[in-house]
Chains A and B, each alone.
Chain A
């Protein structure tokens, strides 16, 4: 990545103008209104998000972290490792696969947890962080049941907060898309961010606004249309709940197989969510990034998702062991240590590198890297 271009992009993203452009991708600019998904489809989105003004980008790099918002030592260790990798290899932004603020999200846009669990740990990383909501972001108990979705709205509000600590937190809506670079009519990259929590929560939200008919399926319809309409060169999807995982939560369609007896929502198995992901993203996005399981995995493509790559990055602040290493064949999987992913996108190839961070020493190391040609055109 050309450093000047990267700097330019970064400046653009961090500028006030970027917020307007971002909000046009799905968020509302009125921070006093709770942001339930896509606010007003009648508003014509700005043509090109942050990519506006950039004539052409043929290279981008970014990090993917997830399940990171503990505010504990582990999150800081990962942040230090991220800083080192960014200094060494460069990056334009960071993706966060959810559970941004443990254990039960925030109570308002002024909640100090934004500082303790996001701003302070990442204060030396001057990149925009694009975040999606996890179950703990929509909970009001440590169990993370995901049935208090109004709390997730405060994380959207923080995106629009005027006097916030930094301008890094990017969550213009509960679900949204965002363009990166490229000509107006063909961005280099488009990111599709899913709000998976109301679709799979352990307990149903008492607020009918978040039911499948009122929220889940409208989101699915919107997302499918956005993906179909996108002519971005690279397309990436990000969600919290995994489509496939060898970790504790397992595969969509049979999520939390051994824990579900504790749950009351009939959608906790992720059966509808599985179809959401397949119908929106199969063979249409290059990579699906998820979190939720506190492990790192690059799973081999499966027929039901076509050539779309499936990556789990959920060890940005917590660690766990893999529950069943053989449930899904994997290129790479890592347990019991922190980690993050570094991705480089070029015109016709992508490089994906998995970094591990030792929970005790904080030392980081490259665990796995692979470059492959672009499979989805």
Chain B
């Protein structure tokens, strides 16, 4: 029996005890034999403060599963029982799942559940209980069934949240949106620097980093995540929305590639050890589901939002990237990889699968800019190893031109329409057509967009900086657009996020920018909007942001009581 079928039956009429038994923990989530409701454990003696110091979070939603996360802060205790209850209603009266897990020192007291939930495409509310306390109430949402007809979905797209560079006003604004199906975080969720390094000098006392030194060890990385998760704006965003995350470089160190990083020196020890520590902490602290039980480095994965879109989350950083080139001709080396052979094969298979199942949109969530960024474009000639414009950032796909050509060739060869590329990393807002050779008039027409194979939306940073002033940003835009025919708009100054509004007819990106990140302030303004119509594979400007979704579930309420009153 399929799990989905089983759930349909149980959801229809069997008590929650059967459901609870389906998924008390990630280990037991595959066992489908119903049994009685698990006995609630007895809690150890505890007289400390509220142990839910780092909030709650959810992520990697599937049609009937979602990762639900919390952490217990209770010094000198270990193996601490944590109860999770999931409810189908805002009032927490209809419990659909109850399970127990244990917060253990070997996982930094983080706890992840992967409960089986009865309904697809449904908002759930959840709450943890441990050591006599209730956690804040969380809200999450399952995604539609794989082949369900879906008319409308909406995602927020975020990246680059550097704590000492500013307040997380962006997270707060995203938290306040009721009608999001999920939040994509495209990486640079934390930064690895020590106190005062890559920070706003005016915020050093308000937002000091912990630990104060560059993070190297497992303990360091765990502390850094704990610092970020102590931020109330970030906590609120996690509390209200399921996240779908991939790492970028700063989750390990600046400009990471598979065997090193620009910001790693031999005096800091073995890079592989550092990478292992960073990845372990990532899995402990982020609401992410392991793709394979014994392979933490593999995080590329996909999500089927009914027949509306397939979301393919990529790792262009760690799993397969060769070192960034230093010379232009190296960027054309056919042996150099950005995704690595295995991930590239997986991606091509996923594109084929997504196309075959009839998904309308094929969305790639990834880190670095796919479209070229050049100082002047000339036609590209791969056989002469020249042309294509002078590239200025070899950390992007520009440094891996045969990898890019393979991907774009595949999209073209498959005659695959409706590929959307979502990008972070560069702390700025960009809207671009994606063409195999944008500087070649015979291949791409900058005025009509003809010759474009896909579109790319680049989300600005949550807090990390780019151009120091708006004037410089405008100057750069005035220079870059003529030099890059596929580039339609760029803003290098503002922090913000994208709301991606997806219907069968069009996929639209609305950029919202916040006023400031130097103080906690919740003012945002609509910046720009571009859309692509189904089958067009090119951008067109829109004048206003998308209207709110017609139906949206209420945000999770603030918890009335934190003390559970249970025996402790």
Contacts and interface: CB of A to CB of B under 8 A. Distances in A.
Contacts of A213: 412-415
A105 B345 CA distance: 36
A230 interface: no
Interface centre among B409, B410, B415 (most CB of A within 10 A): B409
Interface string B359-394: 000000000000000000000011110000000000
B382 A253 contact: no
A271 B412 contact: no
Given A216-B413, A266-B383, A269-B382, A279 B334 contact: no
A253 B333 CA distance: 10
A217 B414 contact: yes
Interface in A177-236: 212-213, 216-217, 220-221
B383 A279 contact: no
A269 B383 contact: yes
A212 B413 contact: yes
Given A212-B412, A304-B341, A275 B383 contact: no
A368 interface: no
B61 to A, nearest CB: 31
A267 B410 CA distance: 12
Interface stretch (A45-53, A91-99, A256-264): A256-264
Interface centre among B381, B402, B413, B415 (most CB of A within 10 A): B413
A263 B383 contact: yes
Contacts of B348: 275, 279
A201 to B, nearest CB: 12
A272 interface: yes
B406 A254 contact: no
Nearest to B384: A261
Contacts of B334: 253-254, 269, 271
B413 A271 contact: no
Contacts of A287: none
Contacts of B383: 260-261, 263-266, 268-269
B8 interface: no
Contacts of B410: 272, 275
Interface in B237-274: none
B85 interface: no
Given A260-B383, A261-B384, A263-B383, A212 B341 contact: no
Given A263-B383, A264-B383, A279-B348, A271 B415 contact: no
Nearest to A224: B352
B405 interface: yes
A263 B385 CA distance: 12
B161 to A, nearest CB: 36
Chain A's interface: helix, strand, loop or mixed, by majority? helix
Given A213-B412, A213-B414, A275 B406 contact: yes
Nearest to B443: A266
B406 A271 contact: yes
Contacts of A254: 334
A271 B409 contact: yes
Interface string A267-294: 1110110010011000000000000000
Interface centre among A267, A275, A278, A304 (most CB of B within 10 A): A275
Contacts of B405: 266, 271
Interface centre among B334, B345, B348 (most CB of A within 10 A): B334
Interface string B464-503: 0000000000000000000000000000000000000000
A253 B334 CA distance: 7
A164 B457 CA distance: 60
Contacts of A264: 383
Contacts of B413: 212-213, 216-217, 220, 272
Interface residues of A, number: 23
A40 to B, nearest CB: 20
Nearest to A276: B413
B452 to A, nearest CB: 15
A278 B342 CA distance: 12
A265 B409 CA distance: 13
A266 B409 CA distance: 10
Interface string B318-362: 000000000000000010000001000100100010000000000
Interface in A105-133: none
Contact of B409 (A263, A272, A279, A304): A272
Contacts of A275: 348, 406, 410
Contacts of B381: 266
A93 B31 CA distance: 54
Given A212-B413, A217-B413, A304-B341, A272 B382 contact: no
Contacts of A261: 383-384
A212 B409 CA distance: 9
B382 A266 contact: yes
A220 B415 CA distance: 13
A278 B412 CA distance: 19
Contacts of B345: 278-279
Contacts of B412: 212-213
Interface string B33-73: 00000000000000000000000000000000000000000
A245 B382 CA distance: 21
A147 to B, nearest CB: 14
B481 to A, nearest CB: 26
Nearest to B409: A272
Given A261-B384, A264-B383, A272 B406 contact: yes
Interface string B409-422: 11011110000000
Contacts of A268: 383
Interface centre among B382, B383, B409 (most CB of A within 10 A): B383
Interface in B395-446: 402, 405-406, 409-410, 412-415
Nearest to B402: A271
Interface in B501-542: none
B236 to A, nearest CB: 45
A220 B349 CA distance: 13
A304 to B, nearest CB: 7
Contacts of B415: 213, 217
Interface in A288-344: 304
Contacts of A265: 383
A165 B413 CA distance: 40
Interface string B555-568: 00000000000000
6 contacts: A212-B412, A213-B413, A266-B381, A267-B409, A275-B406, A279-B345
What are the 5 tightest A-B residue pairs by CB atom distance, in nearest-first order?
Answer: A217-B413, A212-B413, A260-B383, A213-B415, A266-B382
Given A261-B383, A263-B383, 16 more contacts: A212-B412, A213-B412, A217-B413, A220-B413, A254-B334, A261-B384, A264-B383, A266-B381, A266-B382, A267-B409, A268-B383, A269-B334, A269-B383, A271-B409, A272-B410, A279-B345
Interface of B: 334, 341, 345, 348, 352, 381-384, 402, 405-406, 409-410, 412-415
